[in-house]
């Protein structure tokens, strides 16, 4: 084993905070335009684009798969590998997660309602809400939390694969995960309506991100190889040509895979670029970096904040509602980050294996 001072130090990709910002903005715009309706032509035009923002969750998954895997690869020879990883993840995810569950379940009391029965809450307390959502089990909780369950299940399994297997075996199991998720989506789409909220149909997103981490680990992620990541987008996005020869369930599963690989290629392309490249500079702009920093709070709070704004400050003008909802969400996420999450982030650093790693949001 190597000491904490000897651990491999990873580069901090500042631009990935910008990528994370784009992901959360996609999700927030998706939810706003999904829940709000008006007949204005500008609104309808923007809505067509905003509804594609659901794929922002896929971008989160791919990014998490990459960042988590590169951390695990760099620390797997260190002391307290498992302990440090699980403590760090717990300190980042659990405090805000469980705080918001308490807020969510107590809020009805302030509007003349009642707290849902514990039997309806239980899946959210134990991170099984993706199962309850997929299989139609009776449950009640924050709808956006399904993705946090998917990531948590990944965190429970992935450290063991990275620790006990060599790179070739890891690559093999990544392939198994991708194929399994692809086939499961096809099968389950014929029986269940919300298959894209299920761990085993979305694990390929995280596995594809892990491929990029393996490529970086073996030295492939460098400036001269940026073009290869870009060229990969061509065959991946030409698969639509064959869609007319297959059924809708296969088309949907292929679409998920296309999106994941495309996002992975774009992330690989971006981190290969020179520091003075305009795209890298754009993704490193202050507002995007800040949004990426508070993205966990934005993700957790935004549906709740949107609803409160609708109840108390809603207007007839969709643009005012959009801007107001976003500003309100940013304020709450900022307060959450600096006055709640920051305390646990400081504790988290005591178990750091790498000091120059891009932070992984929940």
Whole-angstrom distance, CA of residue 274 vs CA of residue 271: 8
**Hey, what are 15's tokens?**
């631009």
pLDDT at residue number 359: 54
pLDDT band at 11 (very low <50, low <70, confident <90, very high): confident
The mean pLDDT of 272-288, rounded to a whole number, is: 96
Alpha helices in 107-221 (DSSP H): 118-125, 129-135, 146-164, 167-188, 199-217
Whole-angstrom distance, CA of residue 162 vs CA of residue 154: 12
pLDDT at residue number 38: 84
**pTM confidence score:** 0.93
Q: Are 15 and 280 in contact (CB under 8 A)?
A: yes
Whole-angstrom distance, CA of residue 39 vs CA of residue 32: 15
The mean pLDDT of 1-30, rounded to a whole number, is: 79
pLDDT value at 223 more than 60: yes
Above pLDDT 70, what percent of the chain? 94
What are 23-71's pLDDT values in tens digits?
Answer: 999 999 999 999 888 888 899 999 999 999 999 999 999 999 999 999 9
pLDDT at residue number 254: 92
C-alpha R_g of the chain: 21
Q: What angle do CA 172, 353, 75 make, to 5 degrees?
A: 25
User: Closest Cα partner for 105 from 69, 140, 134, 76?
Assistant: 140
What are 183-199's pLDDT values in tens digits?
Answer: 999 999 988 888 899 99
Look over the chain and give the mean of its residue pLDDT values, rounded to a whole number. Answer: 92
pLDDT value at 5 more than 50: no
Q: Are 253 and 182 in contact (CB under 8 A)?
A: yes
Q: For the residues of 4-71, what is the DSSP string, one character each? A: GGGSPPPP--THHHHHHHHHHHHHHHHHHHHH-----HHHHHHHHHHGGGGGHHHHHHHHHHHHHHHH
User: Closest Cα partner for 274 from 225, 209, 228?
Assistant: 225
The mean pLDDT of 262-286, rounded to a whole number, is: 96
């Amino acid at each position: 084993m190597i000491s904490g001072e000897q651990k491999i130090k990873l580069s901090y990709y500042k631009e990935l905070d910008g990528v994370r910002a784009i992901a959360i903005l996609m999700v927030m715009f998706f939810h706003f335009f999904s829940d709000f309706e008006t007949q204005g032509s500008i609104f309808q035009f923007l809505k067509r684009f905003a509804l594609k923002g659901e794929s922002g969750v896929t971008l989160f998954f791919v990014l998490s798969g990459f960042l988590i895997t590169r951390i695990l690869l760099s620390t797997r020879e260190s002391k307290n590998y498992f302990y440090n990883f699980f403590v760090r993840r717990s300190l980042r995810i659990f405090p805000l997660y469980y705080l918001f569950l308490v807020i969510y379940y107590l809020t009805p009391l302030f509007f003349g309602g009642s707290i849902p029965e514990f039997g309806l809450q239980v899946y959210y307390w134990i991170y099984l809400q993706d199962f309850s959502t997929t299989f139609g089990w009776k449950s009640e909780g924050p709808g956006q939390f399904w993705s946090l369950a998917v990531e948590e299940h990944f965190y429970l399994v992935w450290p063991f694969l990275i620790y006990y297997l060599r790179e070739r075996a890891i690559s093999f199991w990544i392939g198994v995960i991708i194929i399994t998720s692809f086939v499961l989506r096809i099968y389950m789409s014929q029986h269940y309506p919300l298959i894209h909220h299920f761990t085993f149909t979305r694990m390929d997103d995280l596995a594809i991100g892990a491929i990029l981490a393996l490529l970086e680990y073996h030295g492939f992620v460098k400036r001269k190889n940026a073009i290869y990541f870009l060229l990969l987008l061509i065959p991946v996005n030409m698969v639509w040509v064959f869609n007319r020869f297959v059924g809708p369930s296969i088309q949907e599963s292929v679409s998920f895979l296309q999106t994941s690989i495309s996002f992975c290629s774009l992330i690989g392309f971006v981190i290969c670029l020179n520091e003075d490249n305009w795209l890298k500079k754009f993704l490193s702009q202050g507002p995007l970096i800040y949004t990426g920093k508070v993205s966990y709070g934005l993700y957790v709070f935004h549906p709740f904040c949107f609803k409160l704004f609708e109840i108390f400050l809603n207007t007839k003008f969709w643009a005012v509602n959009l801007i107001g909802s976003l500003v309100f969400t940013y304020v709450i996420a900022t307060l959450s980050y600096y006055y709640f999450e920051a305390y646990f982030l400081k504790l988290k650093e005591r178990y750091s294996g790498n000091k120059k790693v891009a932070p992984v949001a929940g």
